[in-house]
């Protein structure tokens, strides 16, 4: 790249208004509480790149286990937390591996 073309490129890039720049949204962390042998909310909707944090309020241990996606918080004892980040849009169903009747869903929008 010659000096002249490099200068032209820099000027062009600088002329793009900041408001039009495609800045990625800041990733967020959203909470799911495990209480009374249930996930609350049972379905949580997040944006791609966001993190879900599960907190177990029960005396019994629980997990959030995504068998299809191969993701797992591991065993959470009372007061324990586990976080998983979802990069790809989709619908992700999960269970507690210890109590498989406990079911939840994470919906990841694009």
Q: Which residues of this chain interact with Cu ion, rule CB under 5 A? A: 62, 96, 98-99
| CA distances to 6, 45, 57 from 104, in Å | 53, 11, 16
State yes or no: cis peptide before 41, omega within 30 of 0.
yes
Partners of 82 in the β-ladder: 54
Q: Which helix (H) or strand (E) holds 3?
A: helix 3-14
Nearest to Cu ion of 36, 70 (CB atom)? 36
Nearest to Cu ion of 50, 52 (CB atom)? 52
Shortest Cβ distance from residue 95 to Cu ion (Å)?
Answer: 8
Which tokens belong to 20? 């039009």
Nearest to Cu ion of 96, 108 (CB atom)? 96
Shortest Cβ distance from residue 72 to Cu ion (Å)?
Answer: 12
Nearest to Cu ion of 89, 100 (CB atom)? 100
Shortest Cβ distance from residue 92 to Cu ion (Å)?
Answer: 18
Three-state DSSP state, 92: strand
C-alpha 48/C-alpha 89 separation (Å) is 6
Shortest Cβ distance from residue 59 to Cu ion (Å)?
Answer: 11
């Amino acid at each position: 790249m010659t000096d002249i073309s490099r200068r032209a490129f820099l000027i062009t890039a600088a002329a793009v208004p900041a408001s039009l720049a495609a800045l990625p949204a800041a990733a967020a962390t959203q909470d799911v509480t495990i209480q009374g042998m249930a996930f609350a909310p049972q379905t949580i909707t997040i944006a791609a790149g966001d993190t879900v944090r599960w907190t177990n309020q029960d005396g019994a241990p629980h997990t959030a286990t995504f068998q299809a996606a191969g993701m797992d918080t591991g065993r959470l004892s009372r007061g324990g937390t586990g976080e998983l980040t979802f990069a790809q849009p989709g619908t992700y169903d999960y269970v507690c591996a210890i109590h498989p009747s406990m079911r939840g869903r994470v919906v990841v929008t694009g």
